[in-house]
Amino acid sequence: MAAQTDDSGPVLPPAIEGAWGLRERAPKGPRPGMSVPTIVDAAVRVADADGLAAVSMSRVAKELGAATMALYRYVGSKDELLLLMVDTGYGPSPGPPPPEVDWRAGLSRWAWAEHEVLRQRSWLLHVPISGPPITPQQLGWMEDGLRCLDGTTLAEGEKMSVLLLITGYVRHEATLTSQVAEGSRAAGVEPSEMMPAYSRLVARLIDPARFPALHRVLAAGVLNQDDDPDDEFAFGLDRILDGVEALIQRRAG
């Protein structure tokens, strides 16, 4: 005869339900001195300033002038806090595509928006993701991506696959870029000197007879020139969109 929460499908952590606005008030007891958003914002501030590794429960608590264990009244575990940090860190999605643009321009805009977020918050890439998206903002990004493909002839499942394809690319490219940046900071090398140094290292290691193709790449100086990283990103994105375009035309024709 206990209260039935719902038709209760899979169980959602309380703090996540809170993010969706479905959370019963607490009519008894003292007024809470903090809130989940306060805590998450503090954690995001720490990550922005000192990286994800600096985000410990005690550090976040210190940021709020509270004791470590006080946080556990609001979040069930550090993993839960991380999940909420991702939601906040990504921020609101770029919104549905402007009506006058075609799917390609829309998806491009969508991809660049995520690219920009990840450039400024590279710690997002270090959060171990532990499941499919369930937070409001994450599903908002998904919605906006799907809308870009609204006018096309793709099946719903294909739209989804296309989005996964693009997000995956954006994340991977951002991962590589931030690794170079972090590596150069760790080694105390000028960022512009990072790739040349890497190129020299590989050249020293490999035997041209066993690694001919790689040797040719090095000889071409590909890794030396520091061309605009945005060009590199645009290259891959265009390849993917070309592939999508081929599919759309096949479905249409």
Partner DNA sequence: CATAACAGCGTACGTCATACGCAGAGGAGA
Partner DNA sequence: TCTCCTCTGCGTATGACGTACGCTGTTATG
Q: Candidates 5, 11, 37, 69: give the one binding DNA (CB under 7 A).
A: 69
Q: Candidates 56, 120, 224, 249: give the one binding DNA (CB under 7 A).
A: 56
- Residue 213 partner contact from DNA, a copy of itself, none using kind-dependent CB cut-offs of 5 to 8 Å: a copy of itself
Residues within window 137-176 making contact with DNA, judged by CB under 7 A: none
Position of tokens 């969508």?
110
- Residue 149 near residue 161 (C-beta atoms within 8 A): no
Collapsing DSSP to helix, strand or coil, 252 comes out as: helix
Using CB under 7 A, which of the segments 52-60, 105-113, 161-169, 195-203 binds DNA? 52-60
- Residue 134 near residue 12 (C-beta atoms within 8 A): yes
Q: Candidates 58, 120, 175, 224: give the one binding DNA (CB under 7 A).
A: 58
Decide whether 82 or 174 has the Cβ nearer to DNA.
82
Q: Candidates 21, 29, 98, 157: give the one binding DNA (CB under 7 A).
A: 29
Residues within window 32-51 making contact with DNA, judged by CB under 7 A: 32-34
Decide whether 69 or 219 has the Cβ nearer to DNA.
69
CB of 170 to a copy of itself, least distance (A): 9
By the rule CB under 7 A, 72 interacts with DNA: yes
- Residue 246 partner contact from DNA, a copy of itself, none using kind-dependent CB cut-offs of 5 to 8 Å: a copy of itself
Distance, CA of 124 to CA of 86 (rounded, Å): 6
Distance, CA of 105 to CA of 97 (rounded, Å): 9
Continuous H helices in 51-190: 57-64, 78-90, 103-120, 136-148, 156-187
Decide whether 28 or 204 has the Cβ nearer to DNA.
28
* Contacting residues for 174 by C-beta, under 8 A, at least 6 apart: 115, 118, 119, 122, 125
Going by C-alpha positions, the residue among 198, 97, 82, 189 that lies closest to residue 130 is 82
Using CB under 7 A, which of the segments 9-17, 25-33, 111-119, 201-209 binds DNA? 25-33
- Residue 152 near residue 135 (C-beta atoms within 8 A): no
Using CB under 7 A, which of the segments 59-67, 117-125, 168-176, 230-238 binds DNA? 59-67
